[in-house]
Structure formats: structure tokens, C-alpha cells
Chain A
Amino acid sequence: MLRSQGEVRLFGQRYWAIFTGLAIAAGTLISLLIFNFPRIRLFVIFAFLGITATAAAVTVYSYFATKEKLAKVQTTAKAILESMVGGVLTLDAGGGVTIINRAACQILEIGSEPPYPDLIELADKHRALAVAIRRALDAGQYVQDEDSVFLNSRNESIVLRTSISEQVDDKGQRVGIVVLVKDVSNLVAMESELRKRDRLVAMGTLAAGVAHEIRNPLSALELNLRLLRDESGSLGTASGDIEGYFEILFAETRRLNRITSNFLQLSRPEPLARVPVAVHQAVSQVARLVNREAQEKNISLVLELAGGDPEVLGNSTKIEQVCLNILINAMQAMPTGGVIHVGSATSTSDGRQFVDLSFSDQGIGIPPENLPRLFDPYFTTRPDGTGLGLAIADRIVTDHGGKILVESTPGVGTVVTVCLPLADGGDTGEALGPMV
């Protein structure tokens, strides 16, 4: 499957050198036999046999040495191919797969042993890739870092980054194509997240100023509306209809005020002071703050915080805000009551230790199509919601170097997990047991 052109050529040169030597020796021997000098003839025969034996030994040695080197080169090349994170496959001019490495098999979900799928079979799952390969083979249209999306066997959306170039032999003739494939789903998600953050920062800086400017005239508007209502009341001109209009105006100013206040909270650029924050203490404090309201709504808050009180570096008020926003969301999702479990665990990801706070509710759940937009500012399914609670929580957690994960089953409930990186020496001692 793999071969070294250099090694083969080297062996070929030696072979011809030996063959030429033998030809000269044979020519000399024939000449001497013709001239018939007995003593010399005997000497030449032995000399010829010696040269032949030496040549044969050198040939055999060279053969095995070359074979060994070739095997080493093949093993090394194979090891390199198999160690590559990206997938590599080569196809001949007819579109048949000639080489495929392990990463390519995993990414494309095809068997690692021959027979490899042909282009038609490949097109079933990876239509965009098969089209790009066909174009490269038929029209010489090669691609560089072209992204396509496919659904894998676990129904996950995978972003495939493909580069296709021609494969040439030692004479420079095209013998096929080389295809590089890479699963860049995480990278694309991160890029998208960064773009979203950049957009938010830019939007926030601009809009924070606007929102701030709106709040002051809004207060004046509300105050004067109230004065106007009092005045019309004292003059006896306020009818039931006018009172209704005033109520609408007050309700709308309240809504505007709420939106601008929440928006300022989201967009206000605040430096994050990093001090050790006891996470369990923060979440317990927030649970106490909402417990009374929860009880009024027939909701039980159950805290199961395992393992001491791990610390993260950050701002305790902001971490409390995250817990509050998530708990409020959970409570709003449970109009008929139920149980909210708050748990904690530690995990390791990319060599870093995290504390994972999970908030499990028994609420109405979130439809799958809404999950990707959950942290988008102003995305809400409640008529009275601002759509900023989770956006603020997400921003705070991201600022702390963490992430929020959401799993939800409509009609069953939602689990929101807040993963925050532990400060050095995070305490993960004895379990405290359930707290209600």
C-alpha cells in the first residue's frame, strides 16, 4: 500500500552496477577461453567464480537491506498516517479508495478494512464530499478548507472541513487525489460563540449608552403621566376610559423600564474582580432567597451538594445571580409545582477541574428547536418574559471561564448544568448530604 520511491531507485542502481560488473567479468572469461591459455584460464575461472559469489552476496544483502528499509519506511508512514488527528484518504483516478487512515474512518463512519465504499456509496452519507471528490477527479477542481455538514449515526450535526489535492507519481503524472477531512464541529461552534460575543460586546457598548439615556426621560415621562392623571382626577375630567388609557400608559412605561434595566445589566461592561468564591455557599444562599416563593408555588427545593465547598475564582454576587436566574426560570417552568433538585459534582475537562452545579426541574421542558436559541438575548416563550435571564447567566458564566449545558425533555423537565473552573486547591472533601 505504501512504498518509498527513493529506496526502490537506490536498489535498482546497485542491481545494475552488479549486473554490469558480471557482464565485464563474463566478457573477460569468454575472451580468455577463446585464446586458450590453460594456467590463466584456471585462474580466471576461480576469479570469475569469486566475483560471481561476491556479486550474488552483495545482491542478496542489498535486497534484504532494502526490503528492511522499505518495511521501516512503510511502518513509519503508516504510523504517521494513523496518528494524524485529521482524516486522510487517497483515491485512484477511477474513484476507488486506495488508502484511508483511522481518523478518516472514524470521522466518515466507514469500515477500516477493505472493501472501501465507492463514490456512490459515499454519497449516501456524505453527499457534499462525494460531489467535491467527483469534481476533483473529473474536472481537476480542487478545494481547500471547504466546510460541509452531515448527520452522524448519533444524529449529531458534524461540520466536515475538506481539502482535496492531486496525487502525483515520481514522474509528476496524476495518479489520483488526496483528500483531507477534519471534524471541525467544536471549532466552528467556538468560532460562532466568539462571533456572538463580539456582536454582543459591540451591541452592548452602543446600546448601554442608549438604554441609559432612555431611562432618565422614561422616569420623567412616568412622573408627568402620574401628575397628569392626578390633575385630571382633581378636575373631575377623568372618565373610566381615560383611567384605562392611563393604566395602559403606566404598564407600558413599566415594561420599558424593566427592559432597559435588564438590558443595562446585560450590556454594562463591568470588570470582574476575581476572588475565591465558595460555590455551595452561593447556591445555598440563593436557594434560601427563593425558598419562600417556591413554597407558595408548591415547589420543593432540594439541595444535594456533594463534597465540601469547592471554590472558584470570580465574583460571588454574579455567581449568585446565575443561580437565581436559573432557579427563577425553573420555577416559572413549573406552574403546578414539583421538585427542583440542585446538585453538585466535580469534573475534569481539558486538564482543568470544574465544579458542575446542576438544576433539575420537573417543568414543561424546552422543545428541541428552542435549545440552540436559549441563551440568545431577548429569546423568550413567556409573554411577560424579557428573554434576558439566561443570556445574563450565560454571559456571567462565560466571563468566569465556564459554560452552561442544557438538557431537556418536553413534558418531563430540564437539567441546566453550570460548569465553573475550580480555583487552585478547590476543596472536595466530605459529602454534606441532602439539604432542603
Chain B
Amino acid sequence: MADLCKPDADHARKDRDELERLRRCSGAVPSDPDTRLLFARKLLDCQQADDAILEIRAVIAMFPNHLEARKLLESAHELRLLGRTSL
């Protein structure tokens, strides 16, 4: 049982580490839309849709014509409506 759970635990820890790394990157260069969108995607992967939406909205506030950001925001909203929080 412990052996079966271990990969999941490793995976979750890796996700947390990756999320933290991206959070730091995004915080360090908040005006870089690519980094922030990467962070938003990771947030969605980690089932944190609300935080992801906030992040994407921040990008759109800076870059209203950012098509990719708008598509990601729409996907995030749809996923949240469907009750899923991960892409």
C-alpha cells in the first residue's frame, strides 16, 4: 500500500515544488506575461482555478489584446463551471 502511494506522494511534492518555483518567478517578474501564464497553467493543473483566474486576469489587465491569455481565462472559467479544476 505504501509502495503504491509513494509515486503519488512524489508527484504531489514535485507539483508543489514546481508551483512554488513558478510563483517565485512570476512574483519576481510580474510584467512578463509568459511567466505568469505558465504559472497560471500550473495553478490549473494543481486544481487552483480561482488563483489561476486571478493570475490570468492580471495578465489581461496589462495586455488586453493577449489572445492566449483570454483563451486560457475562458478555459479556466469553463472548467470551474464544469466542476473540474484541472486542464
The chain A residues found within 8 Å of chain B, CB to CB, are 219, 222-223, 226-227, 250, 253-254, 257-258, 261-262, 288-290, 292, 317, 320-321, 324-325, 328, 332, 389, 392
Please tell me if the beta carbons of B28 and A257 are within 8 angstroms of each other in the complex: no
Interchain residue pairs with CB less than 8 A apart (25): A219-B32, A222-B28, A222-B30, A222-B31, A223-B28, A223-B29, A226-B28, A227-B28, A250-B30, A253-B31, A254-B30, A257-B31, A257-B32, A258-B63, A261-B63, A262-B65, A288-B74, A289-B67, A289-B74, A292-B77, A321-B65, A325-B65, A328-B64, A328-B65, A332-B64
Report the Cα distance A325→B33, complex, angstroms.
Answer: 17
Chain B residues, Cβ within 8 Å of A257: 31-32
Chain B residues, Cβ within 8 Å of A389: 65
Can you name the residue of chain A whose Cβ is closest to the Cβ of B62?
Answer: A258
Residues 38-87 (chain B) with a chain A CB within 8 angstroms = 62-65, 67, 70-71, 73-74, 77
Report the Cα distance A254→B36, complex, angstroms.
Answer: 13
Q: Interface residues of B, CB < 8 Å — how many?
A: 17
Known: A219-B32, A254-B30, A257-B31. A289 touches B62 (CB 8 A): no
Chain B residues, Cβ within 8 Å of A290: 70
Please tell me if the beta carbons of A289 and B70 are within 8 angstroms of each other in the complex: yes
Top 5 closest pairs, chain A to chain B, by CB: A254-B31, A257-B31, A289-B70, A223-B28, A219-B29
Chain B residues, Cβ within 8 Å of A254: 30-31, 62
Report the Cα distance A288→B27, complex, angstroms.
Answer: 30
Report the Cα distance A324→B68, complex, angstroms.
Answer: 11
Please tell me if the beta carbons of A320 and B67 are within 8 angstroms of each other in the complex: yes
Please tell me if the beta carbons of A321 and B32 are within 8 angstroms of each other in the complex: no
Identify 15 new A-B residue pairs, CB closer than 8 A, beyond the known A222-B31, A250-B30, A289-B71.
A219-B29, A223-B28, A226-B27, A253-B31, A254-B31, A254-B62, A258-B31, A258-B62, A262-B63, A262-B65, A290-B70, A292-B74, A324-B67, A389-B65, A392-B65
Chain B residues, Cβ within 8 Å of A258: 31, 62-63
Report the Cα distance A290→B62, complex, angstroms.
Answer: 15
Report the Cα distance A132→B33, complex, angstroms.
Answer: 59
Chain A residues, Cβ within 8 Å of B77: 292
Chain B residues, Cβ within 8 Å of A253: 31
B66 to chain A, nearest CB (A): 9
B32 to chain A, nearest CB (A): 6
Chain A residues, Cβ within 8 Å of B32: 219, 222, 257
Report the Cα distance A226→B31, complex, angstroms.
Answer: 12
B81 to chain A, nearest CB (A): 11
Report the Cα distance A232→B67, complex, angstroms.
Answer: 38
Please tell me if the beta carbons of A317 and B33 are within 8 angstroms of each other in the complex: no
Report the Cα distance A227→B27, complex, angstroms.
Answer: 11
Report the Cα distance A389→B64, complex, angstroms.
Answer: 9
Chain A residues, Cβ within 8 Å of B62: 254, 258
Report the Cα distance A290→B67, complex, angstroms.
Answer: 10
Report the Cα distance A221→B62, complex, angstroms.
Answer: 18
Can you name the residue of chain B whose Cβ is closest to the Cβ of A290?
Answer: B70
Can you name the residue of chain B whose Cβ is closest to the Cβ of A318?
Answer: B67
Please tell me if the beta carbons of A261 and B33 are within 8 angstroms of each other in the complex: yes
Chain A residues, Cβ within 8 Å of B73: 289
Chain B residues, Cβ within 8 Å of A261: 33, 63
Please tell me if the beta carbons of A324 and B70 are within 8 angstroms of each other in the complex: yes
Chain B residues, Cβ within 8 Å of A227: 28
Can you name the residue of chain A whose Cβ is closest to the Cβ of B57?
Answer: A293
A367 to chain B, nearest CB (A): 23
B77 to chain A, nearest CB (A): 7
Chain A CB within 10 A, most for which of B33, B65, B77: B65
> Which single member of B29, B63, B65 contacts A222 (CB below 8 Å)?
B29
A397 to chain B, nearest CB (A): 15
Report the Cα distance A131→B64, complex, angstroms.
Answer: 53
Report the Cα distance A254→B61, complex, angstroms.
Answer: 11
B60 to chain A, nearest CB (A): 8
Chain A residues, Cβ within 8 Å of B71: 289
A343 to chain B, nearest CB (A): 22
Report the Cα distance A389→B73, complex, angstroms.
Answer: 20
Chain A residues, Cβ within 8 Å of B64: 328, 332
